Amino acid sequence: MLLEREGYQALTAVDSNRAIDLFTSHSVDEVILDCQLPGVSGDVVARRMKAIKPGVSILMLSGDDPLPKEKLKPVEAFLFKADSITVFLDVVKTLLNTCRPALNACAIPDRSDQKSEEAMDEFGAAAQARAA
C-alpha cells in the first residue's frame, strides 16, 4: 500500500460502519475518506468523525466533479482521485504537520473550480507559513 511504503501506518475500512469502528477504537492522526462510500456519503461519515474526535484531520477524495462547499465543511482538505500521487502525499504530510487540534488551524483548499496542482501548491505554501 502506498501510505505504508511511505512509512505511515494505515487502517483500511470497506464501508462507513467499519470506518467509524476503526476511528473510535484506534488512535488516528488523519483520515483519508472517499466521498462515496457504500450506504452513506463521505461527508456524513466525516461529520460523525468530527463529532467524535474534532481534532483529527480529514482528507476527502472524489473521482467525480467538484463537491458542493457544504459537503466539504467537515474536512480539512479535498483532492480529486485524478490528482498526482505526489500531490496526494504532500497533502497527507502537510495535514499531519500543520493541523493542530488545540489551534484548529487548518485551511480547506477551494477546489470547487480547480483541478490543477497549482491549487495544492498554494495550500501547501499557506500551511507551511502557518507552521512557521
* Residue 94: CATH number of its domain: 3.40.50.2300
Stated as kind and residue range, the H or E segment containing 29 is none
Mean residue pLDDT of the chain comes to 78
Structure confidence by residue, pLDDT tens digits, 1-48: 899 999 889 999 888 889 999 999 999 999 999 988 777 889 999 999
In the chain, the number of structural domains is: 1
Higher pLDDT, 60 or 114: 60
Alpha carbon of residue 88 to chain centroid: 10
pTM for the whole thing? Answer: 0.73
Residue ranges making up the domain that contains 87: 2-131
**Using CB atoms within 10 A of its CB, is residue 72 exposed (0-12), middle (13-18) or buried (19+)?**
buried
Per DSSP, what are the bridge partners of residue 127?
A: none
Question: Is 129's pLDDT higher than 50?
Answer: no
